[in-house]
Structure 1
Amino acid sequence: MPMMQWETLILETVQLGGSIVFVEDKAPKDLSAWMMPFQSLFLGEIPFVKRRAQDLLSGRLQTSFQDLVILFSEQDEILTKLNSVLQGQRLLLSPDAVTEKNPLIDFIWSGCDLKTWTEALQRLHVSWSQASAIEDYQGSHQGPCLFLDRDDVVVKNVPYNRDPSLVELMPGIDGLMKKAHAQGFWVALVTNQSGLGRGWIPWTDYQKVHQKMLSLLAEKGCWIDECVWAGFYEKEPVPQGRQYAGLRKPRTGMFQLVNAKLKVNMAKSVMVGDSASDLIAAFGAGVGRLYLLSSEKLEKEQKDLLQFQLKNPSFQFAVAKDFSQVQI
C-alpha cells in the first residue's frame, strides 16, 4: 500500500534524525490520544515528545530543525508566541477545510480528525519496514573537500587566543585554498577549541578572532565554505565543555556535520592537520588523503600516528613540510 503525503512526511522526519513534537499549551483535551499511536504501533521507533511553551520560551528545552511540530487549529495564539524559538517543520492538523494559509505553518492537513490521523499511522506502520533510504540532491556527494585544522594550519598558533590582532595566516595557506577551489573542492575548517569548553575564551572573543582570520583570507581572495568547531573537553565544569563530545577530534562528528551540509565525496577529499587527532578523525570519516603538516610537535604526532597504523593497516598518511607538498 503506497504511503500518502503525510505518512511520508512523518517517515522522512525520523529518517533525518528528527522527532515528532506536540505543543501542550492550548492543545485538544484528548492530546494523549493523538500521541498514543506512536507508542502502541511503533514501540519507540518513532521518537515523539510533548513540550510546554514556557520551557521552549525560556530556553530550558529546545526543538531542532529536523523535527516535525504537530499543531492544532486552537493553537494559533501560542504559535505566534513560539515562532522565534520553535525550530522544525510545522504541520497543522485541522478537521475542517482550511482556506487561508498561515505564513507560520509549513503544511496543512485539512480534514484530519483523530480517526483519520490514527488510520494514517496504521498505514505507515504497515509500510515502515519496507521504506527505502531518502534520495539526496541530484549530483550530490561528487565534490571533494579540503578539510583544514585551524591553529598552525590556517593561522599561526597562539594558544587560547583571544586577541584578533595576534591572528596571522600560515604562509602558503592561501595558495592551497585557491588551488582547491579552482579544482572544484569545498574548503572546510574543523577545529577543536577547548578554550571555549573550558570557559577560558568568551564567545565574543572567539568570534572576533574567527572573523579576523576570515578577513585576512578575504584579502588574499580566499574563503572557507564551512566552519565547525568543537568546544567539548572531558571533565570540564562549564556547560559548553560537556556538550557534543562526538564533535571533538579524534571523533568524526565535525566531518559528519560538514558532509551532511555540503554533500562531500569523502574518498576524494583531503585533510591537512598538525596533530594525530586531526588525521585519525579524518580517516574515521572516510577522507581519502591525509597530510600531517610539519610543526614543532611533528616527532610526537608522527609517533602517535605510527602506533595507530599498527592497529589500522589501511591507515596511510604523508608528512608535508609545507603546503606545496599537499596534492589536490
Structure 2
Amino acid sequence: MYRTAIRPDITSVLGELAGTIQEQSVPVEQYLRQLRAHQMVNPFRHPGAIRIADAIPEEFLGNKGIRRVIVDEVGVAAEDASGILGRCSLVELADWTELVDNGAWDKLYSTWIKPLGKRDFQFIFHLGDVAYKPVFGIDEVLDIIGDYSSRGRVTLMLDGHEADTLWCRLNGRNPGAGDSGATARVSSEWASFAAARGLTARDSGARDVVVRDCTPQDRWLSLFNTMSIDFLIVLQAGHAVQFSREGQFNLNGPPPVGIGGVINGRIRFSAGYQLGLLLRLDPQHCCVLGMAVAGAYGKLASGSGAELLVEYLRNWIPIN
C-alpha cells in the first residue's frame, strides 16, 4: 500500500515546542489546570477566564455523546445549548461504545451542529472497542463521523487494539482467538454486510489474502482510506502513528513519568493534542505535544504545569 512518510526533525520539533510553551506559559498553565474539565474557556483567547458564564448543562453533554467542549467567546448571552455550541472551537466526543444512545452523534450533528452553519470546528472522535458492535452499526457511525468533516477538521483517535478490532470487524475477521462461536457470528455478519455492498465471494478471498500479507500499519492505513476524515491517530505502547492525506507520521515517545503505566493513554494524549490545536500548531507538532502530555501526565496532573512540560520536552531523547 502506498503512503508518503512524513519525517520532520524531531529534535527541532521538541525545541520549538519547548520554546512555544515557555512563551505561552500563562495560558498553557491555565489549560493544564483544567485537564479533567468537560468544558473550558479557550485560555489563548481569554487568559485568566476560568468560568463559563453560560455553561452547557452536563446532562446535555452526556446525552449528546460529548466528552468536552472548549469555548472561544465568553460573556455573550446564549438562549440555549445551540448558541453555546456556536461559540465553541473544539468539540471532543466520548467513546461511541460507551454511549447509551448509539445514534447520539447523528442527532447532535443534524439537530445542533449542521444548523449552526459553522465550518471551522475541530472535532475529536473516539470509538472505543467495537468488538461486540454489529458491523452495520459500525459502518453507519463511520459515515456519521464523515458528515462532521463538512463542518470542520475531524480527528479519530484509537489505540492499537481498538484499531485492529475495528479493521477485523469491517473485514469479517474474528478480533479474538479461540472463539468459534464469535468467528461464525462475525462471518455471518460480514456476509450480510458484503451482500448489501455488492461484494462477491472473490472479494472475500482477496480479503483473506490481505489478512495474511498486510502489517498492522497497512490495516490502519486501509481504515483511514475508507473514511472521510482529516486525521487518524493510532496509539500503541509509547508509539503514535498519524495518517493524513499528506502522508504518514510515525512517532516514538519516551516512557511516561509519574505513573506506573499508561492508563487512559488515549485520553491523556488527546488532552495534549487539543493543546496543540489551540496553539494552532501543525498536525505533527500536535501529535508530539499529545505524546508529551500523555507521558508527563502523572506530574502535570499534580499542578506543576507548564514548566514541567518544558522540562519533559527538553529531556525527550528522540528514538525515531
TM-score (structure 2 length as normaliser) = 0.28
Using CA pairs below 8 Å that are at least 6 residues apart, which structure has the higher relative contact order? 2
Larger radius of gyration between Structure 1 and Structure 2: 1
Q: Which has the higher helix share?
A: 2
Instruction: Please report the TM-score for the alignment, with normalisation by the length of structure 1.
Output: 0.27
